[in-house]
């Protein structure tokens, strides 16, 4: 059943996420029977990824046949190629966790309108947690408003991250980052699903998140959740236009402001000249072609070096979030679905 209070496009995204979640949950009952293939070293894909992605695409294009699709497993081969509306999909974020029965994975769906993320859904099928956001309307978990953590001291903060795992990744750099951050924070966690990590930052379950080597579908939905929950998100230098940067930092404002100086020296764009080139490239993007650039960044850009952008953002006054009591999952809760008219 759809909610009349939600944007119709968000309702459709929720319907798609729940359809994918049902496929994932059925497969999780017999993990040993799931067929797994390897895209590259330590990077896996399963038949569940493909089935989940297909269910999402069918749901979205049935409602909006004129929209574009950018999906992890099938790229941009579905939907319109020149639409102002592009759905960015990760059908199973945390595949390695899934195939080991480690219950930290999710479905991530975002809608970019002329290059800006305006709708977001992150769905954890294991816990039946549904995180949603519409630009300008706040972020929610299971229909309850969420806010980022109110902590302001890094020494009290729990930080989540992801470790490099691909051939060619800079493992020594990550060890250096660990050495910089671990003595300064209360704890560091590596759950293994970036979209869910960002949702947890939005909900205040963790205080910050950082990772390199990420693609647009890993962070698109989570980025809107964080900002709509009062947090900040960008690359390691604090530049907010980060979706094509392959590095991400998110957190509550005052915490974010303390971590940027620690991580900025590890960014590809830590130098002044690099910062200027990054800013010039962003300003040069024609807004009318911003979504076409999303396609290019995700298909061609995957083969390019990991990059970052410029100028750290100053720390802002911490928001005054309401106290969040962790919501009890109710697997019997009626899903919020919706059938929007085709455009």
214 with 277, same domain: the answer is: yes
Looking at per-residue pLDDT, the higher value among 241 and 280 belongs to 241
Parallel, antiparallel or unpaired: strands 85-93 and 68-71? parallel
Instruction: Look at residue 319 and tell me if it is in a domain.
Output: no
The answer to which of 114-118, 220-224, 260-264, 277-281 has the lowest mean pLDDT is 277-281
134 with 167, same domain: the answer is: no
43 with 126, same domain: the answer is: yes
The answer to which of 5-9, 54-58, 225-229 has the lowest mean pLDDT is 5-9
Looking at per-residue pLDDT, the higher value among 326 and 223 belongs to 223
The pLDDT-based confidence of 242 (bands split at 50, 70, 90) is confident
Closest Cα to residue 190, out of 166, 168, 174, 172? 174
158 with 296, same domain: the answer is: yes
Residues 84-103 have a mean pLDDT of 94
| Count of domains observed in the chain | 2
Instruction: Look at residue 45 and tell me if it is in a domain.
Output: yes
295 with 160, same domain: the answer is: yes
- What is d(CA 339, CA 48) in angstroms, rounded to the nearest whole number? 24
Q: What CATH number has the domain bearing residue 33?
A: 3.30.540.10
Instruction: Look at residue 311 and tell me if it is in a domain.
Output: no
- What is d(CA 50, CA 297) in angstroms, rounded to the nearest whole number? 22
The domain of 60 spans 8-143
The pLDDT-based confidence of 147 (bands split at 50, 70, 90) is very high
Instruction: Look at residue 159 and tell me if it is in a domain.
Output: yes
Q: What CATH number has the domain bearing residue 192?
A: 3.40.190.80
Token code pair at residue 121: 């859904």
- Confidence check: pLDDT of 288 > 80: no
179 with 271, same domain: the answer is: yes
Tens of pLDDT, residue by residue over 172-201, are 888 888 898 999 999 999 999 999 999 999
- Which residue, of 101, 120, 143, is where some domain finishes? 143
291 with 170, same domain: the answer is: yes
173 with 125, same domain: the answer is: no
- What is d(CA 14, CA 27) in angstroms, rounded to the nearest whole number? 20
Sheet of strand 68-71, all strands in order from the earlier edge strand to the far edge: 68-71, 85-93, 106-113, 116-124, 129-134, 139-141, 144-146
Looking at per-residue pLDDT, the higher value among 283 and 69 belongs to 69
Percentage, residues of the chain above pLDDT 90: 55
Token code pair at residue 123: 């769905």
- Rounded to the nearest 5 percent, the helix, strand and coil shares of the chain are 40, 20, 40
The pLDDT-based confidence of 44 (bands split at 50, 70, 90) is low
First to last CA, the chain: 21
> CA neighbours within 13 Å on the CB side: how many for 231?
33
pLDDT for 165: 63
188 with 242, same domain: the answer is: yes
245 with 284, same domain: the answer is: yes
């Amino acid at each position: 059943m759809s909610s009349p209070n939600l944007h119709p496009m968000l309702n459709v995204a929720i319907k798609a996420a729940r359809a994918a979640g049902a496929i994932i949950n059925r497969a999780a009952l017999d993990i040993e029977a799931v067929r797994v293939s390897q895209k590259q070293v330590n990077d896996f894909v399963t038949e569940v990824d493909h089935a989940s992605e297909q269910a999402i695409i069918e749901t979205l294009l049935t409602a909006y046949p004129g929209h574009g699709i950018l999906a992890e497993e099938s790229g941009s081969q579905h939907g319109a190629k020149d639409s102002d509306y592009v759905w960015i999909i990760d059908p199973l974020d945390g595949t390695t966790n899934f195939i080991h029965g480690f219950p930290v994975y999710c479905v991530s769906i975002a809608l970019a309108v002329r290059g800006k993320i305006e709708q977001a859904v992150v769905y954890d099928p294991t816990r039946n947690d549904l995180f949603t956001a519409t630009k300008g309307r706040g972020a929610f978990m299971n229909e309850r408003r969420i806010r980022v953590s109110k902590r302001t001291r890094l020494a009290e903060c729990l930080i989540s991250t992801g470790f490099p795992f691909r051939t060619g990744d800079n493992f020594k750099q990550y060890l250096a980052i660990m050495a910089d951050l671990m003595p300064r924070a209360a704890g560091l966690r590596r759950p293994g699903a970036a979209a869910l990590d960002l949702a947890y930052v939005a909900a205040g379950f963790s205080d910050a998140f950082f990772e390199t080597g990420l693609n647009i579908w890993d962070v698109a939905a989570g980025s809107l959740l964080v900002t709509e929950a009062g947090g900040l998100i960008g690359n390691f230098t604090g530049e907010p236009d980060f979706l094509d940067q392959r590095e991400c930092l998110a957190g509550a404002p005052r915490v974010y402001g303390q971590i940027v100086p620690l991580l900025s020296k590890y960014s590809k764009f830590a130098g002044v000249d690099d910062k200027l080139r990054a800013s010039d490239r962003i300003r040069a993007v024609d807004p009318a072609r911003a979504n076409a650039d999303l396609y290019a960044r995700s298909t061609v850009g995957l083969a390019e070096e990991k990059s970052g952008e410029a100028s750290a953002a100053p720390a802002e006054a911490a928001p005054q979030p309401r106290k969040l009591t962790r919501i009890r999952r109710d697997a019997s809760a009626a899903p919020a679905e919706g059938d929007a008219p085709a455009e």
